Amino acid sequence: MTYDLTLTTPHVPAQTDMATREVTIGNLLRKVAQARPKAKALLEVRQDGTTGRRWTYGELLTEAERLATALSTRFAPGERVVVWSPNIPEWVLVELAAALAGLVLVTANPALQAKELAYVLEQSGAVGLLLVAAFRGNPLARIGAEVAASLPAIREVTDMESDALFAHGQRPAHLPKVAPGDAAMIQYTSGTTGFPKGAVLSHRGLVNNARFYATRCGVTEDTAWVNIMPMFHTSGCGMVTLGCLQAGCRMVLVSRFDPDVVLDQIARTRADIILGVPTMIVALLDAQEERPRDLSSLKLVSCGGSMVAPELVRRVQKTFGSGFSTLYGQTEHCPVITQHHIDDTIEDICGTTGQPLPQTEVSIRRVEDNRVLPVGEVGEICARGPCVMLEYHANPQATAATVDAMGWLHTGDLGRMDARGYVTVTGRVKDMIIRGGENHFPAEIENVLLNHPQVAEVAVVGLPDPKWGEVIGAFIRSTGGPLDKAALHAHCRAEMSPQKTPNVWCQVDAFPLTGSGKIQKFVLRDRFVAGDYPEL
What CATH number is associated with residue 482? 3.30.300.30
Q: How far apart are CA 194 and CA 191, in angstroms?
A: 5
Top pLDDT among 68 and 446 is at 68
Task: Bin 407: left if φ > 0, else alpha if -120 < ψ < 50, else beta.
Answer: left
The rounded distance, in Å, linking the Cα atoms of 14 and 456 is: 36
Compute the average pLDDT of residues 509-513: 91
- DSSP state string for 210-238: HHHHHHHTT--TT-EEEE-S-TTSHIIII
Whole-angstrom distance, CA of residue 188 vs CA of residue 145: 21
Q: What percent of the chain shows pLDDT beyond 70?
A: 97
Residue 169, domain extent: 29-38+56-178
Determine phi and psi for 379, rounding to 5 degrees: -155, -165
- What's the pLDDT tens digit per position in 146-176? 999 999 999 999 999 999 999 999 999 999 9
- Cα–chain-centroid distance for residue 412? 16
User: Using omega within 30 degrees of 0 as the cis cutoff, is the peptide bond preceding 512 cis?
Assistant: no
Is the residue at 327 inside a domain? no
Mean pLDDT on 187-213? 86
Report CA 395 to chain centroid distance, whole Å.
22
- Name the percent of the chain in helix, strand, coil, to the closest 5: 30, 25, 40
Instruction: Decide: residue 5, CB within 10 A, 0-12 exposed, 13-18 middle, 19+ buried.
Output: middle
Distances (CA, A) of 393 to 195, 209, 396, 401, 468: 14, 20, 8, 14, 39
Residue 3 one-letter amino acid: Y
Question: Residue 444 pLDDT more than 70?
Answer: yes
Q: What is the pLDDT of residues 274-314, one digit of tens each?
A: 999 888 998 999 999 999 999 999 999 999 866 677 888 99
Q: 99-108, 382-391, 519-528 — which is least confidently predicted?
A: 519-528
Tell me how far apart the terminal alpha carbons of the chain are, to the nearest angstrom. 47
For the chain, give the mean pLDDT. 94
Instruction: Determine phi and psi for 530, rounding to 5 degrees.
Output: -75, -5
* DSSP annotation of 400: H
Mean pLDDT of 464-473: 83
Query: Is there a contact between 449 and 458 (Cβ–Cβ < 8 Å)?
Result: yes
Residue 386 identity: P
Query: Among residues 7, 26, 19, 27, which one has the least CA distance to residue 71?
Result: 26
Compute the distance between CA of residue 39 and CA of residue 250 in angstroms, rounded to an integer. 8
The domain boundary residue, chosen from 117, 146, 178: 178
Residue 228 lies in a domain: no
pLDDT at residue 268 in the model:
97
- pLDDT band at residue 195 using 50, 70 and 90 as cut-offs: low
Minimum mean pLDDT range among 211-215, 250-254, 278-282, 293-297: 278-282
Higher pLDDT, 1 or 239: 239
Domains of the chain: total: 2
Residues 52-67 as b or e (16 or more Cβ within 10 Å = b): eeebbbbbbbebbbeb
What does residue 505 show for φ and ψ, rounded to 5 degrees? -125, 130
Query: CA separation (Å) from 24 to 384, 503, 512?
Result: 20, 51, 36
**pLDDT tens for each residue of 126-149:** 999 999 999 999 999 999 999 999
Query: Distance between CA 266 and CA 224 in Å, rounded?
Result: 9
The average pLDDT across 433-447 equals 78
Distances (CA, A) of 71 to 53, 176, 205: 22, 12, 24
Residue 169: inside a domain:
yes
Report d(CA 447, CA 98) in Å as an integer.
42
The pLDDT, as a whole number, for residue 218 is: 97
pTM here is 0.86
Give me the CATH number covering residue 61.
3.40.50.980
Domain boundary among 121, 143, 178: 178
Residue 253 belongs to a domain: no
If you count them, how many residues does the chain have?
536
How far is residue 443's CA from residue 428's CA, in Å, rounded to a whole number?
A: 9
287 part of a folded domain:
no
For the cut 70, the answer to whether the pLDDT of residue 350 exceeds it is: yes
> Per-residue pLDDT averaged across 356-373, rounded?
96
pLDDT, mean of residues 366-393: 96
- pLDDT in the model for residue 307: 64
Looking at 153, 178, 203, the residue that finishes a domain is 178
Residue 247 maps to a domain: no
Question: What element of type H or E holds 69?
Answer: helix 57-72
Instruction: State which H helix or E strand residue 409 sits in.
Output: strand 409-417
pLDDT at residue 190, rounded to an integer: 58
Residue 193 has a pLDDT of 46
DSSP string, 95-137: HHHHHHTTPEEEEE-TT--HHHHHHHHHHHT--EEEE-S-BTT
pLDDT of amino acid 192? 44
Question: What is the rounded distance in angstroms from the CA atom of residue 338 to the CA atom of residue 346?
Answer: 16
Please report, as a single letter, which amino acid is at residue 256. Answer: R
Residue 178 has pLDDT above 80, yes or no: yes
